[in-house]
Structure 1
């Protein structure tokens, strides 16, 4: 199977079809070494044989370039049965070329004409495809003869397929034939190839291979075989197999010494420096080596920024593999001096230049690792911390730094599965009790891998209690332990967890850092967040524009999740997603995807939510972040419930609950209950909806240890009121108002006000209108539509059908935009009861109607597209609009829905 070569296979199919005229009987692929030219030729040979063609294959070799007619001899031998049909001159020329007769070689004109005559004669009995691999290495005589044949093809059913390296000239290009440039594989195709051939590779290793291979299929297939992920430091290029090494090694060996030194400096310096390499490094041999490397096609100058860069990452790996350990240490020493102005890079190169433990260098590396983490370079931060551990003379320092590297890997870079190995290594180095960093790493792994909140909390509390006196707010290890403790308390959702957590938070002096304070005050207990906490949160969110720290960004955005402020962190969160997709902060990429999806749910961007949760859940499964997947499943379940995908929503709730229940993770249980509540509400099953909502938030209370209750104010009040529990509904609406929940965001203000209106028997109409007048409430499409629906229902029951129709029509418009089919159906039922008919917004356009009627007969999208002269994608788009307009969720309901609509229009 060829990945990412669909366009090229189409070209091949068009070329080789027997009996069909071809406007271009010659197809040539060009591309870099290893890009997959030979694989395409192999596929073309199979396709051609299936199509009824005889395949003649010529493979040129560099060492045969001086052998006159060598390649032509290789090809013509297979056609000698047609030789008697040629005239005497051409027979003699072919016989000499094939070594059947003695004599001087024919002239180029005779050789070309004889080759044309023989191939044309052979094609009369069987259509031919001539495949030429590595055309630049053809000997000159064969190349000229074959080019002669290719330019003079007329009626014969004969085709040429040629491959050539893009950097080498060949006779076919000089003869006027255009080449189809074979591009590297895109990221998705490269990943699919790795998954297919190496299914056991971890996602982080696949990312690293993709980064070095840069879409080159040969590199993608060979690098995993050469890679030893446990021994190769993160900062070094991946090792090469012999096949990959041979692509570039000889060119590198042919360079003068100064050029090889220059290339090694380029490899080790990396591409991060903002200045060109000549400005900050000594130039061996006065720059002559650089010029030689450019002439050899190994490096080039970027047109974007003027920097030197390797023409392909494999060259970088080849330079590294051909260097010696001593040469690399010497180069790192040079670089540490060159980057004296950059403490992080200086520390990194110093760490690579020494070969024995060095306490000073280890300390510099630890500082650099923390700085790198805060500036968003999480991969290099982990590598620097590991190197700091290697260079630590003292056992306790080595143990602490290994544990810190394990924690960074789990928390940021997605290396959850590698964490236990590093923690064990750290403990083996420790002389006494595990360090706080080691305990935090273990607790984080237990929580995210096994979901054992109780064990994680016990470990953290015991480790923190062993620290005498106040906890220093500037002690990174202590603050990370507290951050993890807050996370444990959130997922556990139990009062005893929060009380013990707050006892530890009270020990911090002089005061907790911003992110720790906000996670406690505005995420852990949003109901009681005061004005100063909100101002502090808003300032922290505004400040995210100026940071690249993935930990700070995700924690601050999380702090704003229950207060509808994630939208203010979207740009920084997308930066983390982009970094994760490049192999950086992958664990934080998952969190960012779900935070963005959280904002999408309330803002009504449900199609994007589905894409983001798909990506996040795939990463969770690949990397083993079972607990982290829960928010993604929850959000997807809410949208599935609202869009009528009941089975998928119920399955998501069941998955969450089955995992959460034995671990007593009450917040996850709340996720499952909310999804099931949302499955009941649009269908009017209010008794069941009330039970699910009340299991999260007991009537009239907002518990500080279960902040999720803040999201169910309106759900609980509506379910209680509609199931005949007016006292409970009034009690909860009043509790939300007394707690000041409406002041926390415009969405919560809308919902709290609507809850109060729903239970007010006297002034409900004015209060609903006030709720819908909430500034900024238009952004919350789903919630606003729900309020309009409930208001419309009240108006209809209050004998105001005309006003009810206005509200219900507005609600339908919002639900249709979201494709919230069950909610559309509920609103339409109310609209009909209020004397309304099918509105213009509900009518199908002529093209939608045509598509829907054909789909109702059982035709596929492709068959409909053919009948209506549309693309299958356009058909799919029309159907996605038809379903909510008709209030259905599947094709199976189309026929009945169309008949019902026709009946309503007649009435």
Structure 2
């Protein structure tokens, strides 16, 4: 009796798979115990992945099992795979936070709204699976992962990395270790052993087989179960029995495909056409296939020979015996035959319920250029973009380009496809499409648009210098066409030039600013106008002249009722304006608002950059535990999104704390990279942090060298300016006061322009270092008065320290003890151990007895646990904390139970006191 090819329980399906099945059973048992598990079952075509996953889903008892299968022809339909997975749970959407619920509804086409961020969609799927698993353990099996649409693959890869305390298992079957699966636990499925291969071959034979032929089949198949099953079907019976050998060796997929084709030759012509129709439809919708078959004149009984031959089933759903069989059916048909079945499927598809799939079928049915179909694909691409699927939109637009009948429409579609690939991160493809567009006869507006896109591709791919030049050229081209768009392009060029630093050739900050200054004034200035005016004036004039315009831009932005989408649009530019004024309070407030907006809209790819800046200003204010919490949040986001780790925040914290070993390693790592455009801000930041570290440790020569490198004459508006106070202090303390004159003048011009206490305090403190007698005394006291009115305790502590050091050097030992004691207490409380040790040594030199103190905490909480505890202390719900950290509410609860145990408490109400006792809240001044 032969094996039933449709029966997943047949023993031949799992010959030689005890070890692999055992690993899957252990995964299921772990899920049943309430744990999460992920496994990638990887192997070549026909090796038995599907059979193994069949056994998992149909024979293993578990709370709930879901099955998703990637389909090659659905790879361009956005979120098609994810919809398969989540469709049974859509009645649970109300349990999700509103932003996640809205994102998933838009992604699935259930409602309209802004294009959702892909990570917000993935977070919604994580929350939905966690919600379902709250009722019973859940195992999700994703077969043929390599054929999932990219948006679904990315989302499921995200979910696989964020499962923790949820009783959810994710099992992927894939031919490849795709980008989305890299790093996940993996089980490689190889061919059967020779004995297993013989056993399987014997089970599928219908007659005698010559021993030599038998061994050759076993050898040539490489133990591949599909090949073993198909060999007997492909060879004549007399060849099997007679021992005349096999035809020359053929690669496995080719031999298997030929076997399938021979089996197709044995069924009637109408059956073959019906199989082709089913192969062209990826949904498996039997009603749709029946309607399309009717249009082709195929009777219902045409399905019977296919079922009897074990090729396909036509029941509630249409399914092929193996994906390779579907592929063989489709590839063996002529172009005309494929077009006919796609035309029938398009006619049978409801244009209201599934317009995108209908458009896709119409596109494949078109025998040549067809403007109506191209326009339909263009609309579908717009819907894909709106649902958060730029890769799908790009594929549809490229197909629309192929079908474009009107030459005048081709450039716009090429540019739209390039923009979609830019959004999808496919930069090389975007550039190829731009080259094709630029070879067309373009209008001036289209050339400007192409240039702008080239600039954005360069900026997004890290080539800030090229981006600044390209965007400057595009902005100039846009001036006579659209002044508003030209201004926005100038702003982006300005930002690119700032990141490029001195390596921007043909698009420097000065060149961009000078060009922007020549633009005519807008009749109705908006945020873009005020920012561009302020920033270009900052570069082309002196700080005092630019200050009122900068202040107006910052105040207007702070007061504006901006939408959440405006935050990433104007963020860095507004930061630059606030920092230029030394208004770090406004900068901090803008950053807080921007971070909140990015969390709300789910723009998690942009959030880490904002968190880096927020960490900088928070650490600078002496709130080290809050800065550590921000780093933990940034790490969670970066881990989830795959972004590079934050190096800036941890470096500045190490430098401020005086942790020489940790800081030195981080500084070396940031400085040792290959010189390239766009890397200058990192180098400047590293040198500034090094100067802060070395001044605290009393290594003034090293501090002077680092600060000098940071102040390299570039127009960096952030760390280069912050390095000026370090340079002045290091120059004076190293006995080189002449080197401080130029930096002091630049510092004064910048720090005093904004009229802030922070700027005035730092300027007075540095000027005091270069002064003598009563003037120095007055300036030190003035610096302390200004800085005492700010939140920046590190700067106040350093002012007291410098004042005390100066008094002791003046021989006023008794007077020196008061500011030195203030310095020591403040710097120790903050956790700046290097500067605190400087103050302690100075106190000892005055004859004061002082015991060395440390700022170590008593906590054994991890950074992640500390952040969760702080968020819970602040009243955030488990869902809100989970959204912040890309984990489920259940996982948050699991972490909190561990936190409560470590802190010895039983409720959230006790967190404030417990965290204070453990030194996990920043101490008041």
The two structures have a TM-score, normalised by structure 2, of 0.51
Residue in structure 1 matched with residue 510 of structure 2 by the alignment: 499
CA positional deviation for 1:490: 3.3
Aligned residue in 2 for 1:746: 757
Shift of 1:350: 13
Aligned equivalent of 2:571:
554
Deviation, 1:531, is 0.8
Name the counterpart of 2:495. Answer: 486
Q: CA offsets per residue over residues 550-589 of structure 1, 9 Å max, x none?
A: 4225235433344323222244323244247xxx423311
For 1:728, the equivalent position in structure 2 comes to: 739
User: Would the alpha carbon gap of residues 439 and 813 (structure 1) be closer, same or farther in structure 2, given more than 3 Å must change?
Assistant: farther
> Is the CA contact (8 Å cut-off) linking 1:795 and 1:803 kept in structure 2?
yes
Instruction: Please give the alpha-carbon distance, in whole angstroms, between the structure 1 residues aligned to 2:854 and 2:659.
Output: 23
Does 780-789 or 811-820 show the bigger shift? 811-820
Q: Does 1:578 align with 2:599?
A: yes
Q: Is the 8 A contact 1:686 1:722 kept in 2?
A: yes
Inter-CA distance 219–555: structure 2 relative to 1 (3 Å threshold) = farther
1:135/1:842 CA distance change after superposition, 3 Å? closer
* Residues 817, 395 of structure 1: alpha-carbon distance in 2 compared, 3 angstrom cutoff: farther
In structure 2, relative to structure 1, the CA distance for the partners of 1:133 and 1:674 (3 Å cut) is same
Deviation at 1:644, TM superposition (A): 3.1
Contact 2:122 2:156 in 1 (8 A): no
Counterparts of 1:597-636 in structure 2 under 5 Å?
Answer: 597-613=615-631, 616=634, 632-636=646-650
Structure-1 separation of matches of 2:64 and 2:700: 76
Compute the RMSD of aligned alpha carbons: 5.6
Counterpart CA distance in 1 for 2:382 and 2:793 is 47
Structure 1 residues 550 and 594: CA distance shift in structure 2, 3 A: same
* Residue correspondence of structure 1 range 680-695 to structure 2 within 5 A: 680-695=694-709
Q: Residue in 2 aligned with 1:820?
A: 832
SS at 2:761's partner residue?
helix
Residues 492, 667 of structure 1: 8 Å contact kept: yes
Secondary structure of 1:659's aligned partner:
coil
Does residue 518 in structure 1 map to residue 531 in structure 2?
yes
Q: Map 1:256-405 onto structure 2 (within 5 A).
A: 329-331=351-353, 357=372, 379=388, 394-405=409-420
Secondary structure of 1:586's aligned partner: coil
In the alignment, is the contact (CA less than 8 A) between 1:576 and 1:589 conserved in 2? no
Q: Alpha-carbon deviations, 1:398-457, whole Å to 9, x = none?
A: 122123334445xxxxx4xx33334434544664389545544444444454x4444434
Q: Distance in 1 between matches of 2:819 and 2:680?
A: 37
Provide closer, same or farther for how the CA distance between residues 786 and 36 of structure 1 changes in structure 2, counting only shifts above 3 A.
same
> Aligned with 2:149: secondary structure?
coil
Aligned partner of 1:50 in structure 2 is: none
Q: CA deviation at 1:329?
A: 3.5
Q: CA deviation at 1:718?
A: 1.0
Higher relative contact order (CA 8 A, sep 6+): 2
The answer to whether the 8 A contact 1:634-1:653 is kept is: no
Deviation of 1:753 after TM superposition, in Å, equals: 1.5
State whether residues 688 and 722 of structure 2, in contact with CA within 8 Å, keep that contact through their aligned partners in structure 1: no
Once the two structures are TM-superposed, the CA of residue 483 in structure 1 deviates from its matched residue by 0.3
- From 646, 659, 666, the equivalent of 1:645 is 659
C-alpha distance in structure 2 between counterparts of 1:746 and 1:638, whole Å:
22
| Equivalent position SS for 1:475 | helix
Q: CA deviation at 1:479?
A: 3.0
Alpha-carbon distance in structure 1 between the residues aligned to 2:58 and 2:456:
59
- Within the candidate set 775, 782, 801, 2:794 is matched to 782
Q: 1:487 to 1:214 in 2, by over 3 A?
A: farther
What is the CA distance between 1:505 and its match in structure 2?
2.3
Question: Counterparts of 1:213 and 1:879 in 2: how far apart (Å)?
Answer: 38
Structure 2 CA distance, aligned partners of 1:236 and 1:625? 17
Counterparts of 2:62 and 2:705 in 1: how far apart (Å)? 72
Change (3 A) 1:829 1:505: same
Matched-pair contact (CA < 8 Å) for 1:674–1:692: yes
Give SS of 1:649's match.
helix
Aligned counterpart, 1:596: 614
Q: In the alignment, which residue of structure 1 is the partner of 2:822? A: 810
Q: Structure 2: how far apart are the matches of 1:791 and 1:733?
A: 18
Native 8 Å contact 1:805 1:831 kept in 2: yes
Q: Report 1:842-853 matches (<5 A).
A: 842=853
The structure-2 alpha-carbon separation of the partners of 1:520 and 1:424, relative to structure 1 and needing over 3 Å to count, comes to: farther
- 2: distance between equivalents of 1:383 and 1:736? 51
CA contact (8 A) 2:490 2:512 kept: no
Seen in structure 2, the aligned counterparts of structure 1 residues 536 and 624 have a Cα distance that, compared at 3 Å, is: same
Range that drifts further, 755-764 or 218-227: 218-227
Structure 1 residue 672, shift from structure 2 partner: 2.2
Structure 2 distance, partners of 1:874, 1:359, is 66
1:420 and 2:411 matched? no
Q: Check whether the contact 1:436–1:463 (CA below 8 A) recurs between aligned residues.
A: yes
Give the 3 Å change call, closer, same or farther, for CA 777–424 of structure 1 in structure 2: farther
Q: 1:555 to 1:717 in 2, by over 3 A?
A: closer
Q: Distance in 1 between matches of 2:684 and 2:58?
A: 71
Q: Which runs of 5+ in 1 are unaligned?
A: 1-33, 45-60, 65-131, 138-166, 168-182, 188-201, 245-252, 258-322, 334-347, 410-414, 850-869, 886-907
Query: Could you say what secondary structure the match of 1:836 adopts?
Result: coil
Structure 1 pair 500–586 and aligned structure 2 pair: CA distance change class (3 A): same
Offset at residue 780 of structure 1 (A): 0.8
- Residue in 1 aligned with 2:126? 210
Contact 2:648 2:685 in 1 (8 A): yes
Q: Once structures 1 and 2 are overlaid, which stretch shifts more, 687-696 or 217-226?
A: 217-226
In the TM superposition, what whole-angstrom CA distance separates every residue of 1:335-366 from its partner, at most 9, and x where no partner exists?
xxxxxxxxxxxxx9999999885798899899
Cα distance in 2, alignment partners of residues 353 and 553 from structure 1: 42
Residues 468 and 683 of structure 1: CA distance in aligned 2, closer, same or farther (over 3 Å): closer
Secondary structure at 1:331's aligned position in 2? coil
CA contact (8 A) 1:785 1:814 kept: yes
> What whole-Å deviation, never above 9, does each CA across 1:598-645 have from its counterpart, x for those lacking one?
32122222233334345546766886766xx7xx42332121122233
After superposition, the C-alpha distances for 1:74-106 in whole angstroms (9 at most, x for unaligned) are xxxxxxxxxxxxxxxxxxxxxxxxxxxxxxxxx
Structure 1 position 768, deviation (Å): 1.5
Higher mean C-alpha deviation, range 522-531 or range 754-763: 522-531
User: CA separation in 2, counterparts of 1:407 and 1:658?
Assistant: 30
Alpha-carbon spacing, 1:844–1:878, altered in 2? closer, same or farther (3 Å): farther
User: Separation in 1 of the partners of 2:680 and 2:686?
Assistant: 10
Q: Offset of 1:819 from its aligned partner?
A: 1.9
Higher deviation after alignment, 636-645 or 227-236: 227-236
Report which stretch shifted further, 360-369 or 684-693. Answer: 360-369
The 2-side partners of 1:135 and 1:651 are apart by 49
3-state SS, counterpart of residue 222 of structure 1? strand
